[in-house]
Amino acid sequence: MTLWGGRFTENQNQLAAEFNNSLPFDWRLAAVDVRGSIAWALALARANVITALEAEQLVAGLNTIQDEIESGQLDFNTGEEDIHSLVERRLGELVGAVAGKLRTGRSRNDQVATDFRLWLMDTLEQVDAAAQGLQAALIKRAELDLEWSVMLPGYTHFQRAQPILLSHWWLSHFWPLQRDRQRLRQLRDRTAVSPLGAGALAGTAFPIDREALAHELGFNSATPNSLDAVSDRDFAAEFLFVAALIGVHLSKLSEALILYSTREFGFIELADAFSTGSSLMPQKKNPDPLELTRGKAGTLIGHLTGLLATLKALPSAYDKDLQEDKPVVFDAADTLRRMLPVMAGAINTLTVRGDRMAAALDAAMLATDLADYLVKRGVPFREAHGLAGQAVRKAIELGVSLDRLPFYEWKAISPLIEEDVSSVFDFAASIERRNVIGGTGRAAVKQQLEEAKNVIRSA
Ligand code: ARG
């Protein structure tokens, strides 16, 4: 049974109906649809459009439906067009003809926009909690590895650049998530605006107190323009953007961990529980969950571009194109809710090979420190950079590590270089020289860690 049909003489074509129906995915809005309907019934009564008794009957029936949803008893396989039709049909079975009064002054256009926003407001909190879980895993790692002052090469252009503390590296993946969580919170404010009462497009014709209705549903305010109210899906697009960006952040982390877990690097080993094997090659231990995370980032980016393309040419108010908003947003939410805890699990259980990380440090990574050594002896940095470069070239020429250059070679490079140049070639000391705010020095990382532990509580 559809919510329309009076002006039709023919039945809907079966294929067209199946093409049209959104129940296969919008059943997920069931709980918020009922919540919105309860508030609408009460608002109709307050506006004296229905009697208090009628409102009571409607609310009682809707509460029963809410129980049926929670206990898994509501039958979703009834071939309805969408969740709004299904709830209304079920309400009719429960309370009789008075169910037909619930639709008064309300269209599915303002209804679906309301439902979708309510659903997203709940979902934002779940995604935030999952992101926080991953942040906690990163903090735990940073804390542990700071105790042991684990060092590894820091890379730029994926070439060995300068030594850093592993804790510093872990935390470099904490802050992007903190920004993502801020985005989620800011998005909540923009989502918490109620379209209910916008009607089909022109505003409801009944004297509904839309502000009171909005607050009753947990919104902060009511939408200021009814045409915009039914067509606005900015909140969905913004959510998909944040989802895509979280995907990008997790993909970068995955990529690094995948490389670090190769035999070639051997910096980390993933736990068996977060790896898979090969059906052919018995020796393989594959980082599938991380690869899948990297892959899903691509899907999330696709969801965002897909919805933006859908939105870009809508002529006015509600158009059925808008129904395409839900599958992508639902999938993005499901993906995040699974991807974030899996990444947290992988990080919580992996093994760090500090010895392998230390072995990957080489003295040439201290060439900047060598230049700084000359700077302290009065050489302008530009010149010092050139002299340190000459030393690197000389070491390559002689086939020795930079810290093993014979002393007469140092003297040939600059008479300002003394025996104490050997003090430059100490990775820990190089790290310790970088204790500025946000630097890799131990004290700075400790401070950063405290800051991270502070802000994780509230994004
Ligand atoms: N299933 C629709 C959607 O998701 C609900 C709104 C339908 N409105 C309409 N006038 N057909 O967008």
Query: What is the predicted pLDDT for the residue at 283?
Result: 87
Q: How far apart are CA 130 and CA 127, in angstroms?
A: 5
**Coil, helix or strand at residue 194:** strand
Q: Which of 83, 104, 125 is the last residue of a domain?
A: 104
The pLDDT value recorded for residue 33 is 98
Flag whether 9 is in a domain: no
Q: What is the pTM of this model?
A: 0.95
Are 95 and 241 found together in one domain? no
In a domain, 135, yes or no: yes
- Looking at residues 57-75, what average pLDDT do you find? 98
456 domain residue, yes or no: no
Domain range for 344: 109-198+224-359
Write the CATH number for 387. Answer: 1.10.40.30
Contact (CB, 8 A) for 307 and 237: yes
Reduced to 3 states (helix: H, G, I; strand: E, B; else coil), residue 357 is helix
Q: Does residue 203 form part of some domain? A: no
Task: Enumerate residues 6+ apart whose C-beta is below 8 A from 15.
Answer: none
Whether residue 459 is predicted with pLDDT greater than 80 in this model: the reply is: no
- The answer to whether residues 297 and 386 belong to one domain is no
Among 22, 81, 116, 319, name the best residue to mutate to test ligand 1's pocket (greatest count of ligand atoms within 8 A of Cβ): 22
CA of 108 from ligand 1 middle (Å) equals 6
d(CA 453, ligand 1 centre) in Å: 44
Write down the pLDDT at residue 420.
95
**For 146-183, what is each residue's pLDDT tens digit?**
999 999 999 999 999 999 999 999 999 999 999 999 99
Question: Is-catalytic flag, 157?
Answer: yes
Region 377-395: mean pLDDT is 96
| Residue 260: inside a domain | yes
Other Cβ atoms within 10 Å of 317 Cβ, number: 18
**Minimum CA distance residue for ligand 1 atom 3:** 323
Q: What pLDDT is attached to residue 393?
A: 97
Last residue of a domain, one of 359, 388, 416: 359
Minimal CA–CA distance to 188: which of 122, 267, 104, 102?
Answer: 122
- The predicted structure's pLDDT at residue 278: 82
pLDDT of 192 strictly over 80: yes
Q: How far is CA 35 from CA 67, 98, 188, 214, 390, in A?
A: 12, 18, 18, 12, 73
Task: Tell me, in angstroms, the distance from the centre of ligand 1 to residue 20's CA.
Answer: 9
* 405 and 282 assigned to the same domain: no
DSSP assignment string, 31-47: HHHHHHHHHHHHHHHHT
**Structural domains in the chain (count):** 3
- Find the mean pLDDT for residues 79-85: 96
Q: What is the pLDDT of residues 240-271, one digit of tens each?
A: 999 999 999 999 999 999 999 999 999 999 99
**How much is the mean pLDDT over the chain?**
96
215 is catalytic: no
Residues 153 and 281 in one domain: yes
